[in-house]
Amino acid sequence: MGTFKLRMWFLVLVGLIGLVLVINFLPAYSDQGAVEWPVNRTIIPVLVFYLFFWLAGTGIFTLLLLWFQGKIRDEREVADRVLLCLRQGALLSLMLVILLLMQSFRVLVWWDGLLAMGAVLMVELYFLSR
């Protein structure tokens, strides 16, 4: 098995594990909008939830970006862009986690979302310009 396919299976595994762990924490949200965590009411379960949400998002966004790259490029060029897609997937997932955190603190408005998108875009442009 080539290294490209091995990397793809690793990304699928990371995305699925993160997705399973996020689904595990979903019953913590009740209908009243208050978060009732199944473990102690400390910050650790919240951090674990957002960490696994970030991992799941990274895997899913990376696979989607690689799939889009595969549609417009040949396999050799896509294999060279795996790390680029991984970085972009991680940044998109980070933006999603930031927006979710802002929503959980009830401070998310449309211009805050645009600021988060702009910050992620600036980080990506920094990496592309190096």
Residue 6 in tokens: 């091995």
Axis-axis angle for helices 43-72, 82-104 (nearest 10): 140
User: Is residue 108 predicted with pLDDT exceeding 80?
Assistant: yes
Domain locations in the chain?
3-129
User: Is residue 97 predicted with pLDDT exceeding 90?
Assistant: yes
Residue 33 in tokens: 């909008």
23 touches 68 (CB < 8 A): no
Which pLDDT score is estimated for 90?
Answer: 94
Low-confidence winner among 6-10, 21-25, 82-86 (lowest mean pLDDT): 21-25
Which pLDDT score is estimated for 33?
Answer: 55
User: Is residue 39 predicted with pLDDT exceeding 60?
Assistant: no
User: Is residue 27 predicted with pLDDT exceeding 90?
Assistant: no
DSSP structure class, residue 34: -
User: Is residue 50 predicted with pLDDT exceeding 70?
Assistant: yes
Mean pLDDT, the chain, integer: 80
